[in-house]
Amino acid sequence: MKPEVFLYDTTLRDGNQDRKISLSLADKLQIAKLLDAFGFDYIEGGWPNPSNPTDVEFYKRIGEMHLTHAKIAAFGSTRRPKVLAENDPLLQSLIASQAPVKTIFGKSWDLHVTEVIRTTLEENLDMIESSVRFLKENSEETIYDAEHFFDGYKANPQYAMETIKAAALGGADFIVLCDTNGGTMPWEMKSILAEVQKVISVPLGIHAHNDSGLAVANSLVSVDAGVHMVQGVLNGYGERCGNADLTTIAADLVFKLKKQIYCGENMKDLRKVSLALDQIVNIPSDIKAPYVGDAAFAHKGGAHIDGVMKVSRSFEHVDPKSVGNNRVFVTSDQAGGSLVVEKIKELLHIEIDKKDPKVQNLLHLIKERENAGWHFDSAEASFEMLVYRTLGRFAQPFTVENYRVIEDRSEQGVSVSQASVKLRVNDEISHQVAEGDGPVNALDAALRKALLPYYPYMKNVRLDDFKVRVLGSNVGSDAHVRVWSTFGDEDGVWHVAGVSTNIIEASWFALVDGLSYKMYKESLKGNAR
């Protein structure tokens, strides 16, 4: 398959310039394998100059590894002023890397030539041409990145054009136009590209930064205008506001622009690859990332859920499965009967009519609790318990006669919480007292103590996490609080919530839901006790 557009990933170089990222050699090798397996055409590894030992070692190690498709590119700049290309240490280090592809950036903007690298406009043209020629004579492929090309063109179009002609004369295989400061608008990019295409016959590429939130749009506009290479970073990491997000671009090229790209066959792995990179760089995944984020196909509005259930494309621009993602229906106060029907089907495997009074009753309870602040989306076990109880699938095995918490603070400043819990279980009274290092800890201990003689499996339940949040704008001491807890056992973890104006009562609701959920799971295993 001959790709119409080549994807050039610079996660290991430009992505590593992200302030949150600092890649080790092991990270770089792992990411390179991931990018290769997914099917990117080029992987830029970094600057292999001696002051960068990690990158020098990277090229050595990657050269010994078997990659299935990607070509490895080493990155650097044109030679320094007043040095022969063959004597320039940075260019020599690119050759020493033995990477088959060499990519160098050079100056397109006269401001940078005279004020930053502080040389003459003529010398810069020679730096570009001689550096590209030297690399081309010593490598399989040479790519020239025209840094600040669009800003340079706007400042001095004739000179910017001279710089890329110099790269073409030197023998560049690709000339990649860079929106280094990320400030170019798509329509400017399109018209400047049209001018370039009149004079340059070397295949063109685009390298866009996201400072105006347009890196993806600018990359796609450029492909539409005829460029054959897109440089970017998986998940859009990079300096300042990041680089063009290759995750989104790859999917857009396949599904929207209908372009042949080598990784097009692997679109079903897109989300997996995106999450794997986040895991390696240790940055939480962006739930709103197009195509791959957790929220990309999460429907919350009741009318949207209803629409998706009837015809999925009514509210989905592509099939979530096509990029390895999943459709999610979010439980909230904006839900309608369709969501309830779907959730009942998912949990209990039964079909029920949207107009059934049980559905309407459940919908009413969901809305009431969501409005109170339950947020079932992050408390799935509390949601399940509400469904099971309302549909008569779970009869609470105990009733609460009362509970009480006492705070005892000694003169020495040591405080101890004591809780007593009185339950009715199987027509018997179970009354227990326990101490804890806080009121919730004491309540939890007393509740379990009361249940343990009847349900020995309770000893395996852990309370893994517990958070309290004040709800709403009324943040005084009479505000509602939401308690959110994570429980766990040998089979997994589950999340519950409780809401009240009383923090102890909110905690109690959460504790009861957490332990009741365990009882429900055990009852499914036929474990009545």
Ligand X SMILES: CC(=O)SCCNC(=O)CCNC(=O)[C@H](O)C(C)(C)COP(=O)(O)OP(=O)(O)OC[C@H]1O[C@@H](n2cnc3c(N)ncnc32)[C@H](O)[C@@H]1OP(=O)(O)O
Nearer to ligand PYR, 75 or 484 (CB): 75
Least distance in angstroms from the C-beta of 105 to ligand X = 5
Residue 43 gets the label, from left (phi > 0), alpha (psi -120 to 50) or beta, of beta
Nearer to ligand X, 107 or 448 (CB): 107
Q: Are 223 and 257 in contact (CB under 8 A)?
A: yes
Give me the half-sphere count of Cα atoms (radius 13 Å) on the Cβ side of residue 319.
5
Give backbone dihedrals phi and psi of 246, rounded to 5 degrees, phi first: -70, -20
Element (H or E) spanning 216, and its range?
Answer: helix 215-225
Among 47, 105, 153, 262, binds ligand PYR (CB under 6 A): 105
Q: Which stretch binds ligand X (CB under 6 A): 75-83, 240-248, 365-373, 502-510?
A: 75-83
User: Cα–Cα distances in Å, from 356 out to 336, 337, 359?
Assistant: 13, 9, 5
Among 45, 48, 106, 320, binds ligand X (CB under 6 A): 106
Give backbone dihedrals phi and psi of 447, rounded to 5 degrees, phi first: -65, -45
Q: Which amino acid is at 7?
A: L
**From the list ligand X, ligand PYR, none, partner contacted by residue 102 (C-beta under 5 to 8 A by kind):** none
To which residue do tokens 């020629």 refer? 133
Q: Which stretch binds ligand X (CB under 6 A): 36-44, 48-56, 272-280, 368-376?
A: 48-56
Among 10, 78, 92, 163, binds ligand X (CB under 6 A): 78
Site pattern 153..192 for ligand X (x: CB under 6 A) = ---------------------------x------------
Least distance in angstroms from the C-beta of 86 to ligand X = 15
**From the list ligand X, ligand PYR, none, partner contacted by residue 77 (C-beta under 5 to 8 A by kind):** ligand X
Residue 235 gets the label, from left (phi > 0), alpha (psi -120 to 50) or beta, of left
Q: Are 388 and 394 in contact (CB under 8 A)?
A: yes
Nearer to ligand PYR, 55 or 306 (CB): 55
- The conformation of residue 363, written as its DSSP 8-state character, comes to H
Taking CB under 6 A as the rule, does residue 14 contact ligand PYR?
Answer: yes
Taking CB under 6 A as the rule, does residue 109 contact ligand X?
Answer: no
Nearer to ligand X, 242 or 302 (CB): 242
Q: Are 307 and 316 in contact (CB under 8 A)?
A: no
- The conformation of residue 68, written as its DSSP 8-state character, comes to S
Nearer to ligand X, 47 or 403 (CB): 47
Residues that bind ligand X (CB under 6 A): 47, 49, 51-52, 77-78, 80, 105-107, 116-117, 147, 180
